[in-house]
Amino acid sequence: MDHDPVVSMLGTTALLLEAEGETSLETQQKIWSLSSQVSAWPDVLEAVPGMNNLMLCFRQPPFDPQPLIARLQDAWRAAKPMTVEGRTIELPVVYGGEAGPHMADVMAHTGLDARAIAEIHSAPLYPVYALGSHPGYCYLGGMDHRIATPRRKTPVLKIPGGAVSIGGFQTGVSASEGPSGWNTIGSTSMSFFDVTKQPPTLLQPGDAIRFRIERVVA
């Protein structure tokens, strides 16, 4: 029997439900299912999937949050994985060198060379689990744990759009220039967000990204 998810409060603005266990696509499909269900609840302003977790923003914070939490746990237990027929995009990546200023840190942490890191990183098909961080940014599942590298001690104030980076057991591509606590190992170019389109994002949860090695700079 699975453990109940952990629920915690994010101030009086929102609550966070975190599923137990290893990060998996099946759990994420349950998160998508729960998200679409609770979005219709009257006390929920918006439901936002993360990596095997779900944030609920309140319209008005309840004086007693326990009934809402109990209802959420019940909905989680009843939730069935929601499969999405998404599309796949391929992104050519230059790994290392100026395009990947933190490649050396990932090499030092993993004991692998740049070529091996690029090959391991570009091998899987990465499903988009969720969007977050900044407009159009995709959180991807399925990174090989051999190249997992902790987030940086202090976030970097500016990394460029197209930066391919690793943070803990996760990887992703920056959609625009901005601060980041992740390790940048390479670079690609793609427009992930257009405010004039509906929806404004290139990818949705359930779509997938494949990285292709364009070159590795040692």
Partner 1 sequence: MIEVLSSTALATVQDLGRFGALGWGVSHSGAMDRLALTAGNILLGNDENLAAIEIPIFPFRIRFHHSCDIVLTGADHLAWLDDVALWPWTIIHVQAGQALTIERGGPGRWQASRVYLCVAGGIDVPLALGSRSTQLRGQFGGHCGRTLQTGDRLPVGVPADAFRPAGMGIVPPALAMPLTVGDIPAIRVLRAAEYDAFTDQSCADFWAQNWKITSQSDRYGYRLAGPMIEPKYPLELRSHGIVPGVIQVPHGGQPIIQMRDAQPSGGYPKIGTVIDADLWRLGQAPIGSSVRFIEVTWAEAVTALQDVADWLEEVRRMVALGRTVQKGAVDDQ
Positions that interact with partner 1 (CB under 8 A): 6, 8-14, 16, 18, 23, 45-55, 57, 61-63, 65, 130-137, 139, 150-155, 157, 167-170, 175-176, 178-179, 181, 193, 195, 199-201
Q: Residue 124 or 135: which CB sits closer to partner 1?
A: 135
Q: Hey, which bits of 38-155 come out as E strands?
A: 44-49, 53-58, 88-96, 125-131, 138-140
CB of 140 to partner 1, least distance (A): 10
CB of 52 to partner 1, least distance (A): 6
Tokens describing residue 62: 């309840």
Q: How far apart are the first and last CA of the chain?
A: 48
Q: Residue 46 or 74: which CB sits closer to partner 1?
A: 46
Distance CA 171, CA 147 (A): 10
Q: How many CB atoms lie within 10 A of CB 5?
A: 23
Tokens describing residue 212: 């292709």
Q: Residue 122 or 201: which CB sits closer to partner 1?
A: 201
CB of 199 to partner 1, least distance (A): 7
DSSP SS3 for 34:
helix
CB of 156 to partner 1, least distance (A): 11
Q: Residue 154 or 218: which CB sits closer to partner 1?
A: 154
